[in-house]
A = this chain, B = another copy of it.
């Protein structure tokens, strides 16, 4: 195919290749003739042939779990955009489950396809450790997980976000803050819970037992029904906004007004959070940025002298809305 262009332009195939790759030392006139021939024939270079000889597929892989949720979906979006502007294609592989085998399988699949690097958007402890083992032949970075692993990681500072949320509630006069945590296998859950606990301890506040959900509104609702039955609750920090939504409804149904009786703070700041009843005070996490940074990291690792293990942390930001108010019996 490239030969056709060469013939039409009256040059060798190599010159066509040079024009395509922007090599130096091509006379402007020649370049123009080649370009014209390319346009004339609507020629498109064959990426497989190029990949075969250069050993570079121009493709990066993304492993993701629960990619229908807002967070993962946004990260994927951020990754794709960043990849495009860095000149890469993006191939995705969803995980069925989060066990090590499944992660292994997805990464292998991607590798077989020839990806040059992989971003893992699977913030569960088991997944991350599984990935760490796989990193053999291609660079891997993890995103969104507060990883304590041996691979480069981009994450929001969950601990400080949780601290900010808890302190906010304490500052409003609440004696203590309850916590509705995410599932235990997730690094996010652990870090947020730790941030919450520390803040309470630092303030000398009582540390109540934590409720555990699975990130879903349903689980927040169920936990909320239990929490609504407790007399001494005046503030709850939820590990994410979806659970906060469920909690809000349970509280509403149990006749415990928010923030009049109980204050609630979430985490993530999904676009809908501002429209909950009442609008949710929460901790914003910029998922798109997270994805972008992860990709930058991966590209840097691909291109460059191998850096030491890198760990990027992005600061979250508190968003104050009406769901958190002053303590009622201060």
Contact = CB atoms under 8 A, between A and B. Distances in A.
A30 interface: no
Interface residues of A, number: 54
B51 A242 contact: no
B277 A248 contact: yes
A280 B268 CA distance: 23
A47 interface: yes
A210 B288 CA distance: 34
A233 interface: no
A112 B249 contact: no
Interface stretch (A169-177, A214-222, A306-314): A214-222
A272 B113 contact: no
A90 B92 contact: yes
A126 interface: no
A112 B45 contact: yes
B93 A91 contact: no
Nearest to A80: B94
A275 B252 contact: no
Contact of A81 (B77, B94, B114): B94
B218 A275 contact: yes
A68 B75 CA distance: 8
A246 interface: yes
Contacts of A77: 67-68, 94
A104 interface: no
A275 B245 contact: yes
A48 interface: yes
A277 B277 contact: yes
B221 A249 contact: no
A284 interface: no
A47 B218 contact: no
Nearest to A224: B275
A47, A69, A271 pick with most chain B CB within 10 angstroms: A47
A27 to B, nearest CB: 27
B112 A274 contact: no
A45, A81, A217, A252 pick with most chain B CB within 10 angstroms: A217
Contacts of A70: 68, 70, 73
Given A67-B76, A73-B76, 5 more contacts: A51-B51, A68-B73, A73-B73, A245-B276, A277-B277
5 contacts: A77-B94, A90-B91, A245-B275, A245-B276, A277-B277
